Amino acid sequence: MILPLAEAYRRSYNKLSADYKSEQEMALYTKSYFVKKLWKMAEDDQSTVAVLHLNDVPRGFIRYSAVPQYYTQPENGISQEVEKGYLDGFEYAWCRKIDFEREVSLNDKTLIVNQIYLDPQIQHHGLGTLLFQQTVPELKKQGIESLIIEYNDHNVNAKNFYQKLGFAPFAKTKDFDHIIEDNGRTVFCISDVSIAHTTIDNTLEHLRRRQQMKQTFVAVIDQRKHGRSC
């Protein structure tokens, strides 16, 4: 399942990122990059992943994880954590800071939506909403009370989609994405990121309204069809 899912993941990520990432950075997003990302997810027993299959082929997924502890302990409206490791062949240390614009309660009953991706070939058919419809009620049964999600500030489509599900921004941060060489210079690729929050009940209500609007729309179309046939 990982190989076809990695291909769908790659197509989705590239479509979302091509407008605001450089050609040098985009060249790093090969299929093997996404295969490695999915293997790491598969090995992470602290996350839950729901995969969307169409005709037995995986075409997208949504992943939920526990909120990092340092998110929950801001001081004077800011929290931070030092990340260390290897990235693009370089050893690095990065101090990730979160600037809270308003106070939001985050605890062990809050999950972060790490990723949600759909193959571009099947987007704009309500399948992203379907992933939430199928998973959020299960999270509520498990005692989860709220969700947060991060999205790139340049990704207007993501922002609009999450707002329609009840998410509201409450903090800002920056992601350290890659280290690239550009004309003999070492360039650090950093993204501006918004963090949004919603309660499970709020999201369920937004999903209910969207489903109701869809049913009303279909009913109106059906009535028009019958009207023409009379």
The per-residue pLDDT for range 187-199, each reduced to its tens digit, is 999 999 999 999 9
Confidence of residue 97 (pLDDT cuts 50, 70, 90): very high
Mean pLDDT of 36-50: 93
Confidence of residue 65 (pLDDT cuts 50, 70, 90): very high
Cα-trace Rg, the chain: 20
Confidence of residue 161 (pLDDT cuts 50, 70, 90): very high
Confidence of residue 18 (pLDDT cuts 50, 70, 90): confident
The pLDDT assigned to 113 comes to: 97
Answer yes or no: is pLDDT of 137 > 70. yes
Answer yes or no: is pLDDT of 215 > 70. no
The pLDDT assigned to 230 comes to: 37
The pLDDT assigned to 211 comes to: 84
The pLDDT assigned to 220 comes to: 52
**Residue among 140, 133, 156 at smallest CA distance from 212:** 133
Within a 10 A sphere around the Cβ of 137, how many other Cβ atoms?
Answer: 13
Confidence of residue 184 (pLDDT cuts 50, 70, 90): confident
